[in-house]
Structure 1
Amino acid sequence: MIYVDADACPVKSEAERVATRHKLMLYIVSNGGLRPSQNPFVETVIVPDGPDIADMWIADRAGRGDVVITGDIPLAAKCIAAGARVVRHNGEIFTPSNIGQQLATRDLMTDLRAADPFRQGGGKAFSKADRSRFLDALEREVQGAKRDIA
């Protein structure tokens, strides 16, 4: 199965194409505002409003043989701990060997933003190259997830 942390996810349609090609269920999880897909391999899951409710829904279900698509580092850490493979929207792979550093960097950046509320900047724009990297990474991780349970 593939789980998508869908709030602000720019690659939902790409994930749907990969899931359909592999005949895998795709769960698009959000707290609303998404148009449901007519694809029989896609289930849109609407969770109640609240902090991290969609993340908890995914973390409670993802495990070995699954792929999770998220940019949320704490969710990625939980899913990795459960044995799932995790891909960021730009194609970066979260792994057991890099998730600790990712969490530490996230915490450092949170502290820096709190110390300077006028700090400008943010993430870079999502590009065609990011989309291409994501598709390549998702394909590799789906293949790896299939091997994990074979």
Structure 2
Amino acid sequence: MPIYVDADACPVKDEIYRVARRHEAKVFVVSNSLLFTPRDALIELVVVRGGFDAADDWIADRVGVGDVAITSDIPLAERCLKADARVLNPKGYAFTEDAIGEALATRALHDMLRQSGEFGGGPSAFSKVDRSRFLSKLDETLHAIRRGKR
């Protein structure tokens, strides 16, 4: 039950490590640059080179059934879902097959509005509630995988 983390901008890495240790789950921290990771046999830093989507490609090429991916990148989330993995964003929301199309369309609309200058800003600030929701959802997801539930 490995956990793949799209780590470059992930605000919940410490929380992932804590939950992974409790479940004895392997964590692949995938990044385009060196990041601090704790010395732990369950945690492996993977530094990929080769461009903008290299980390996404590394994760998408390896993730599969019974695995968990942590990302806020919607196209990567879609690729992981196609591989039958579970996918959470850092705020604790699960990406699902039913909702990924809408998320991609919303992303495309926001990109278009930003480029036209009619829409500014980005996602809302990360809060303690988001962190708590993420911890709860990751723990719940790992328990569900162990029980064989979708």
Q: Is the partner of 1:97 in helix, strand or coil? A: helix
Task: Determine whether 1:12 maps to 2:13.
Answer: yes
Q: Residues of 1 paired with 2:51 and 2:116: CA distance? A: 26
Alpha-carbon distance between aligned partners in 2 of 1:121 and 1:111, rounded to the nearest angstrom:
13
Q: Are residue 37 (structure 1) and residue 38 (structure 2) matched?
A: yes
Give the C-alpha shift of residue 147 in structure 1.
3.3
Q: How far apart are 1:45 and its partner, in Å?
A: 0.4
Instruction: Report the secondary structure of 1:125's partner residue.
Output: coil
Superposed CA RMSD: 1.4
2:136 is the counterpart of 1:136: yes
SS at match of 1:64: coil
Aligned-pair CA distance for 1:51: 1.1
Letter in 2 for 1:114: Q
- State the 4+ residue runs in structure 1 displaced beyond 4 angstroms: none
Map of 1:120 onto structure 2 = 120
Separation in 2, partners of 1:5, 1:91: 14
Correspondence for 2:79: 78
What is the SS of the residue equivalent to 2:69?
Answer: strand
Kindly indicate whether residue 145 of structure 2 is the aligned counterpart of residue 145 of structure 1: yes
How many Å separate the matches in 1 of 2:27 and 2:99?
25
Query: Given that residues 114 and 120 in structure 2 are in contact (C-alpha distance below 8 angstroms), is that contact kept between their aligned partners in structure 1?
Result: no
Say if 2:14 is the partner of 1:26. no
Which amino acid letter does the alignment assign opposite residue 60 of structure 1?
A: D
Structure 1 unpaired stretches of 5+ = none
Please list the CA deviations of residues 103-135 of structure 1 after superposition, one character each: whole Å capped at 9, or x if unmatched: 11111111111111x743222111100000000
Q: Percent identity?
A: 51
Task: Quote the Cα distance in structure 1 between the aligned partners of 2:102 and 2:139.
Answer: 25
Q: What residue identity is the alignment partner of 1:40?
A: A
Aligned residue number for residue 65 of structure 1: 66
Tell me the TM-score normalized by structure 2: 0.94
**C-alpha offsets along residues 53-111 of structure 1, whole Å, 9 cap, x if unaligned?**
00000000111000000000000000001000000000111011111110111111111
Secondary structure, in 3 states, of the residue corresponding to 1:71? coil
Q: Specify the code of the residue in structure 1 equivalent to 2:83.
A: A
Helix, strand or coil: the match of 2:98?
A: coil
Aligned length: 148
TM-score under structure 1 normalisation? 0.94
Secondary structure of the corresponding residue to residue 20 of structure 1: helix
Whether the 8 Å CA contact 1:67–1:145 is kept in 2: the answer is: no
State the shift of 1:140 in Å: 1.3
